[in-house]
Amino acid sequence: MPKPTTALMALLCVVPLVVTLESPLFSDERDAASPNMELAAKPATESTIAANSMLYDELPFEEQQSFLDARRGFMAELPNDGIVVDENNAPVWSLGKYSFIREGERSPLTVNPSLWRQTQLLMIAGLFEVHENIHQVRGADLANITFIEGPHGIVVVDPLTCRETAAYALELYYERVFRDRNRKKVVAVIYTHSHIDHFGGVRGVVADDDDAGLQIIAPEGFLESGLSENVYVGNAMARRATYTYGNLLPASSDGRGQIGSGLGLTTPAGTVTLIRPTKEITQSALTHTLAGLQFRFLLTPDSEAPAEMFFYIPEFKALCTAEDAVHTLHNVYPLRGARVRDALAWSKYLNQALNLWSGETDVLFAPHHWPVWRRDIKGNDTGRVVKHLKNQRDMYRYIHDQTLRLANHGFKMAEIAEMIRLPPSLTADWSSRGYYGTVNQNVKAVYQRYLGWFDGNPATLHNLPPSGSAVRYVEFMGGAENVLRKARKSYDKGDYRWVVEVVNHVVYADPENKAARQLQSDALEQLGYQAESGPWRNFYLSGAQELRHGVTTSDSFIGIAPPPDIAKVMPTDMLFDYMGIKLNGPKADGRVFKFNFVFPDVKPGNYLLSLENSALTHTIGQQAQDADATITMARTTLDEIMLQQTTFPGAILEGKITIQPPAEGARKLGEFFLLLDPEFPFWFNVVTPNSPPPEAN
């Protein structure tokens, strides 16, 4: 019986669910490579060494301000060498596996020196004082957790990805900050935005039975637009996210594997939780009191997340800009895939924050990276808060405006992405460099937001799909061997971008061609070694690894059953939409069904589900007299099915689902369920073609 479980799994794909602490397994079921291939990662080539070492001359490595800021207020190391374990003592997070990345050392030849520097900064981990009453734990998760002490308790900002890392951070905070006095209680939690690394650990900072008096503050639309962002293509996004974060790559001391993700090191693998917000902020600039402190919020929807907000605490002169102003160029479009974000609005929100608060901000902090202080430790005003906000604002504005300027001159997406460089005043600022997003991908995102995928040239209007064109390209270019011979020459010249473009045709024309796979993986690897962006490096190296080893999987993948907290908050409406996405169109040809669904324990409780023209429609609040069946079940039963605590037939046997008319209705419903695709395959091929899904039978 098909179950809508992947819909819930999809919610988590903001960051992937692959456990990163164990070695990947090499699957022999999927696309597998030959043992004849050279499987180990290779050293840097002359071209890569030259490109990387040139950066030491170009970039201001002597400038130490970021290191000073990242260390400022240091109070304590992470306990247990930065290893966080779950209740079975299994590690869910390990900072220690990156211990080969040490401050003051030059990058390995296989790592872009600028990315290496960023990861050196990310390795400055522990408990930090941001302000007398504001503390952060950094390096215990992908994100930071912030603790704000008010007269009446603690406000936690962004409680990390999972319960274990959040509890570990809270304990460190209590131990050090409340060493000589009674611990104050956590009375409020702020989710700055709807990404999982900012809420998933909430039950690690709040006792389960404590929910009653607790305030949970989130931006408007947190549950709906926020959590639903990733549901419909969740499987595809989650698989691609394993590339973004390099979850299946080793973090090896030879510098040929994963070197962080630019935003943080990687993702943890603990228990994801969620407590529904008790209050959504729906209006900017109003004052709310939490723990006896005043907070002013600024809504920033459709910037880095669909639902996001900044806040300012006047009493502490402290500003939190959520994830919109951190120490990297962020993603207007993330490589895992998402609807593109609004770069113009993003820039305007930063300008609003600048105008509202920068003049009276002593410290600016964020849920990733390190804070920016207005004064140096001697008390001199450095103007750095204003400069940081301006640079971040102008970076998104520049990318937005220059993309559209060049589009209006007639240039196409790929052309503009090559033409635009940030101005030198911004590229010289380490915090404006592309460690997470890149100018190239963000330019394409802006173009796509306004003009869509078509570049206007009819020659590109109806291109052949990759496999179709690959065979013809290879034939026109004189056969696979000829292409590879030429491509090897390009490889020897260091023209790796061209090699991967052209050899991709050979791989797609014949995925069994080991020589093509070898050359393709070697070229992708050198591109990875040169990439300044963590996700770009991870994508290139993950692709190289899969060409050599076949698709790698992890037996500790935990995405199949959704976390119960998230299952409960998923709107029923969204589950029906997701059912439509699972409907196999060709298989449903000519079939017509109508079902009434009744969920007596929730409002709205009535849904009419109808299938015709191979498309599934549901209408909220309606029932049909002539329905094929009426299905009555508690929404909590639906949750149990999603959580795989029972199955649809199991729940019928247990009497938790009734169907009218019983026999005929159940038969019709069974026929309908057979039209839905079973679980989507998580470990689909990324760098080689996939076989078509099963269609009409």
Binding interface with Zn ion (CB under 5 A): 143, 195, 197
* 193/374 with CB nearer Zn ion: 193
What is the closest distance, in whole angstroms, from the C-beta atom of residue 161 to Zn ion in the complex?
Answer: 9
What is the closest distance, in whole angstroms, from the C-beta atom of residue 263 to Zn ion in the complex?
Answer: 6
What is the closest distance, in whole angstroms, from the C-beta atom of residue 321 to Zn ion in the complex?
Answer: 13
* 143/353 with CB nearer Zn ion: 143
Q: E-assigned strands of 367-443?
A: 372-373
- Residue 402 neighbours by CB under 8 Å, 6+ apart: 416, 420, 443
Helices 439-451 and 343-357 sit at what angle, rounded to 10 degrees? 110
* 55/125 with CB nearer Zn ion: 125
3-state secondary structure of 149: strand
What is the closest distance, in whole angstroms, from the C-beta atom of residue 1 to Zn ion in the complex?
Answer: 36
- Give dist(CA 19, CA 245) in Å, integer: 11
Chain residue whose CB lies nearest Zn ion: 197
Give the CA-trace dihedral at 577, 579, 580, 582, to 10 degrees: 130
Taking a C-beta distance cutoff of 8 angstroms, is the pair 416, 403 a contact? yes
* 261/518 with CB nearer Zn ion: 261
Taking a C-beta distance cutoff of 8 angstroms, is the pair 308, 288 a contact? no
- Residue 50 neighbours by CB under 8 Å, 6+ apart: 494
Report the DSSP beta bridge partners of residue 25: 553
Please name the residue ranges forming H helices in 137-290: 163-177, 234-244
* 143/238 with CB nearer Zn ion: 143
- Pick from 44, 46, 21, 23: nearest CA to 537: 44
What phi, psi does 91 have (nearest 5°)? -70, 135
* 133/331 with CB nearer Zn ion: 331
What is the closest distance, in whole angstroms, from the C-beta atom of residue 11 to Zn ion in the complex?
Answer: 15
Q: Which helix (H) or strand (E) holds 126?
A: strand 126-131
* 176/339 with CB nearer Zn ion: 339
What is the closest distance, in whole angstroms, from the C-beta atom of residue 222 to Zn ion in the complex?
Answer: 14
What is the closest distance, in whole angstroms, from the C-beta atom of residue 304 to Zn ion in the complex?
Answer: 8
Please name the residue ranges forming H helices in 123-246: 163-177, 234-244
- Give dist(CA 229, CA 301) in Å, integer: 13
Look at the alpha carbons of 617, 620, 624, 629 in this order and tell me if their dihedral is positive or negative. positive
* 143/389 with CB nearer Zn ion: 143
- Residue 249 neighbours by CB under 8 Å, 6+ apart: 257, 258, 538, 541, 542, 545
What is the closest distance, in whole angstroms, from the C-beta atom of residue 269 to Zn ion in the complex?
Answer: 16
- Give dist(CA 653, CA 17) in Å, integer: 33
* 304/565 with CB nearer Zn ion: 304
Taking a C-beta distance cutoff of 8 angstroms, is the pair 546, 687 a contact? yes
* 69/197 with CB nearer Zn ion: 197
What is the closest distance, in whole angstroms, from the C-beta atom of residue 323 to Zn ion in the complex?
Answer: 5
Q: Which helix (H) or strand (E) holds 385?
A: helix 384-408
* 95/484 with CB nearer Zn ion: 95
What is the closest distance, in whole angstroms, from the C-beta atom of residue 142 to Zn ion in the complex?
Answer: 6
Tokens 């990163």 found at = 20
3-state secondary structure of 594: strand
Taking a C-beta distance cutoff of 8 angstroms, is the pair 290, 582 a contact? no
What is the closest distance, in whole angstroms, from the C-beta atom of residue 262 to Zn ion in the complex?
Answer: 12
What is the closest distance, in whole angstroms, from the C-beta atom of residue 15 to Zn ion in the complex?
Answer: 8
* 73/264 with CB nearer Zn ion: 264
What is the closest distance, in whole angstroms, from the C-beta atom of residue 338 to Zn ion in the complex?
Answer: 13
- Give dist(CA 339, CA 679) in Å, integer: 24
Q: Which helix (H) or strand (E) holds 665?
A: helix 662-673
Report the DSSP beta bridge partners of residue 541: none
What is the closest distance, in whole angstroms, from the C-beta atom of residue 72 to Zn ion in the complex?
Answer: 22
- Residue 3 neighbours by CB under 8 Å, 6+ apart: 641, 642, 644, 647, 648
* 143/325 with CB nearer Zn ion: 143
Tokens 């990404």 found at = 195
- Pick from 188, 111, 128, 653: nearest CA to 366: 128
* 15/101 with CB nearer Zn ion: 15
Give the pairing of strands 91-94 and 126-131: unpaired
- Give dist(CA 533, CA 80) in Å, integer: 30
- Give dist(CA 157, CA 160) in Å, integer: 9
* 144/432 with CB nearer Zn ion: 144
3-state secondary structure of 301: coil
What is the closest distance, in whole angstroms, from the C-beta atom of residue 557 to Zn ion in the complex?
Answer: 21
